[in-house]
Chains A and B, each alone.
Chain A
Amino acid sequence: MKAKGTVVLGVDPLIIHDDYHIEYHHSYAQDSPFFVGLSQGKLRGSRCSACGYTFATPRAHCMECGAPTEWIDLPLTGRIHTFTTCYYGGELFLEETPFTLILVEFEGINTLFLSRLKGCDPSTVRIGQPVVARFAKTPSFKVTDVWFEPTGP
Chain B
Amino acid sequence: MRPVYMISGGITKFAKAHPRKDFRLMVKEAYDYALADVPRLTKEMIDGAVGSYFSDHFTRQLKAASMVQDYLGLCPKPSKRVEGGGATGGLCFQSAWEAIASGRMNCCVAFGFETMSRVNTWKGNEFIALASDTNFDFPVGGFYTGYYAMMVQRHMYEFGTTVEQMAMVSIKNHTNALYNPYAQKAKRLTIKDVRESPMVATPLTMEDICVMSDGAAVCILASEEVAQQVCHRPVKITGVGSGSDAMRMADRPRGKVILLPHESEADYRHLHYPGVHSFRGGRMAAKLAYEMAGITNPLEELSFVELHDAYTSSEIQTYEDLGLCRYGEGGQFVESGAPFMASIEYGLELPDQGRLPVNPSGGLLACGHPVGATGLMQAVFAFWQLQGSIEKHLGNDQLQVPNPKRGLIHSHAGTGTYITVSILEACE
A residues at B contact (CB < 8 Å)? 10, 13, 15, 18, 20, 28, 31, 53, 55-57, 59, 63-64, 81-94, 96, 99, 101-103, 110-116, 122, 127, 142-144
Tell me the complex Cα distance, A98–B386, Å: 46
Residues of chain B contacted by A92 (CB below 8 angstroms): 126, 142
Tell me the complex Cα distance, A7–B139, Å: 31
Q: In the complex, are the beta carbons of A81 and B276 less than 8 A apart?
A: yes
Residues of chain B contacted by A83 (CB below 8 angstroms): 150, 153
Q: In the complex, are the beta carbons of B139 and A142 less than 8 A apart?
A: yes
Sampled A-B contacts (5; CB under 8 Å): A85-B201, A90-B142, A90-B143, A91-B123, A127-B157
Q: In the complex, are the beta carbons of A112 and B249 less than 8 A apart?
A: yes
A135 to chain B, nearest CB (A): 15
Residues of chain B contacted by A96 (CB below 8 angstroms): 141
Q: Is the interface of A mostly helix, strand, loop or mixed?
A: mixed
Q: In the complex, are the beta carbons of A93 and B142 less than 8 A apart?
A: yes
Q: In the complex, are the beta carbons of A143 and B136 less than 8 A apart?
A: yes
Tell me the complex Cα distance, A113–B200, Å: 22
Q: Of all chain B residues, which has the CB nearest A35?
A: B135
Nearest 7 Cβ contacts at the A-B interface: A90-B126, A84-B149, A112-B250, A82-B154, A91-B122, A89-B143, A86-B201
B residues at A contact (CB < 8 Å)? 19-20, 60, 120, 122-123, 125-126, 128-129, 135-137, 139-143, 145-146, 149-151, 153-154, 157, 198-204, 246, 248-254, 276
- A18, A20, A81, A101: the one contacting B140 at CB < 8 Å is A101
Q: In the complex, are the beta carbons of B122 and A82 less than 8 A apart?
A: no
Q: In the complex, are the beta carbons of A28 and B19 less than 8 A apart?
A: no
A8 to chain B, nearest CB (A): 13
Residues of chain A contacted by B153 (CB below 8 angstroms): 82-84, 127
Q: In the complex, are the beta carbons of A84 and B150 less than 8 A apart?
A: yes
- A10, A18, A111, A143: the one contacting B139 at CB < 8 Å is A143
Residues of chain A contacted by B140 (CB below 8 angstroms): 101, 114-116, 143-144
Tell me the complex Cα distance, A89–B198, Å: 13
Q: In the complex, are the beta carbons of B139 and A91 less than 8 A apart?
A: no
Q: Of all chain B residues, which has the CB nearest A104?
A: B250
Tell me the complex Cα distance, A82–B129, Å: 19
Name the residue among B120, B141, B149, B253 with the largest chain A CB count within 10 angstroms.
B141
Q: Of all chain A residues, which has the CB nearest B140?
A: A114
Name the residue among B123, B201, B203 with the largest chain A CB count within 10 angstroms.
B201
Q: In the complex, are the beta carbons of A114 and B249 less than 8 A apart?
A: yes
Name the residue among B137, B142, B250, B276 with the largest chain A CB count within 10 angstroms.
B250
Q: In the complex, are the beta carbons of B248 and A57 less than 8 A apart?
A: yes
A70 to chain B, nearest CB (A): 18
Q: Of all chain B residues, which has the CB nearest A88?
A: B200
Residues of chain B contacted by A112 (CB below 8 angstroms): 249-252, 276
- Tell me whether A13 and B20 are in contact in the complex, defined as CB-CB below 8 angstroms, given that A81-B276, A101-B140 are known contacts: yes
Tell me the complex Cα distance, A101–B154, Å: 13
B142 to chain A, nearest CB (A): 5
Tell me the complex Cα distance, A81–B150, Å: 9
Residues of chain B contacted by A115 (CB below 8 angstroms): 140
Q: In the complex, are the beta carbons of A88 and B201 less than 8 A apart?
A: yes
Tell me the complex Cα distance, A136–B192, Å: 42
Tell me the complex Cα distance, A144–B136, Å: 9
Q: In the complex, are the beta carbons of A90 and B154 less than 8 A apart?
A: no
Residues of chain B contacted by A144 (CB below 8 angstroms): 139-140
Residues of chain B contacted by A111 (CB below 8 angstroms): 250-253
Tell me the complex Cα distance, A142–B20, Å: 41
